Structure 1
Amino acid sequence: MQTEREQTAEGGLREQHKARRRFRILDATRELLRESPGSVISTERIAERAEVSPATVYNLIGPREKIWEALADGFMDELEDRLAELGAGDPREVVRSTVQLFVGDPVVSRRMVRGWEESGLVLDRSPLVQLRRAMAEARTCGLLRADVDTDALAAVVSTSCVGALHRWVAALIDDDEFLANALFALDVALAAAAADPHRDQLLAPLRARGAV
C-alpha cells in the first residue's frame, strides 16, 4: 500500500506529464498554423504532430474553441514573463510590450483572435492587470490626479487596445499603426488624468502627433 508521500509524489509526476503533453499540443498547434496559415487545423492533425492521441488533445485542452483560449493563455503567460523581466511600471512599456508580443508571431496571433469567440477578452488578463498597477503607480508618484480611478482608466485603454488589435487582425492597419493606435489611446487617457505639475509632460506625446 502506498504511503501518503508516495501518493503525493506520484500525483505530482502525473501533473508534470500532463503539463508536458499540453505544451507539446500547443506547440504543435502553433507550428501547424505557421506552416498553413489559411488551412483548417483539425484535432487529428494537432494530435499527430504532438505525438499524442486525439482523445488526449480533447482531455488536456478541449474542443477547438478551447484550443484558441489555451493559445491566448500562452500569449499572456509570455507577456507576464516579459513584463516581470522589465519590471514594467511604465504604462507605455506595458502597452508597447503587449503589441510587440502579437506582431512578433502574426500568423498565430491573428488566427487565435479570429478563431476565439471571446477574443474581446484577450487582454483582460495580464496586460490589464499590469496596466492597472502601472496606472496606480503613476497616481502614487503624483503624475496622475489623486481623484482618478486608475482601474477605470486602465479598462478604457484596454478596450481601445482590443479595438486596435482587431483592426490589425483584419489587416486594416499595419504593425506600426497598431502600436501607434494603442499608444495614442494610452496618451489620451494619461493626459486627461494628468496632475497639474505634470500636465505638459503627459501632453507632450499628443502635441508631437499634432493631436492637440
Structure 2
Amino acid sequence: MNNRLFDHINRFCKLSDSDWFLIQEAVSKKVFQKKEHLLTSGHTCHYKYFIIQGCMRSYFVNSKGAEQIVNFGIEDWWMTDYDSFVNQHISHLNIQAIEDCTVLRLSKSDFDQLTIQSPTISTYFRTILEKRHIADQRRIQYMFNLSGEEMYDTFFKHNPSFTQRVPQYMLASYLGFTPEFLSKIRKKKAEGRS
C-alpha cells in the first residue's frame, strides 16, 4: 500500500494501527492513462480518488459547448464529484486524467463505513472537505474582486507547479478567461521581466 495516503492523513490527525488497517482494506489502486476519464457526465460518481501520481481535472460542458474547468487535482489531493458522490445521483461533471495517473479509489459504501467505524477517519475527511470548500470560496471571491491579471498572479503565487503541468487553455478555462486573454497576460509578464 502506498504510504502517501498514510502520510497525508497523519498531517491532519493521528491514525491508529486499526484505523490504517481499515483504510488499507477499503481502498484499491488504479491507473488511468492520460486523457482517460474517471467519470463522465450522465453517470453516477461512485468513488473518491486520492492521487498518488499525476494530474487531473473536473469539468462540465456549458450551453455553448465549451469546457468549463471546475477543479484540478495533483498528488496528495482527493478528486470526486461531491454532489453526485454524496447524493448518488447523475453527475453533470467529467473527471479526466491530464497526465498518466495512479490513484487510490474509495467507494461510497466503503467511505460511509469508514466514517462510521472511525471518528479519526471521519475527522480527516471533514477537514479535507472544509479545506476544499474554503479554496472554492476564495476562488469565487477572487473572481468577483480581482482583475484578470490579479487573479492570474494570485493563482500563480499559490500554485506555481500548475502553470508547468496544465495546458494553458485549461488554466484559462479554470480562471474564467479565454486562452487569448491568458496569452496577453503571460506576454505582458514576460515583457516586464525582460
Same fold (TM over 0.5): no
Larger RCO, structures 1/2 (Cα 8 Å, 6+ apart): 2
What TM-score do you get using the length of structure 2 for normalisation? 0.27
Q: Which one has the largest radius of gyration?
A: 1
Q: Name whichever structure is richer in helix by fraction.
A: 1
Q: Name whichever structure is richer in strand by fraction.
A: 2
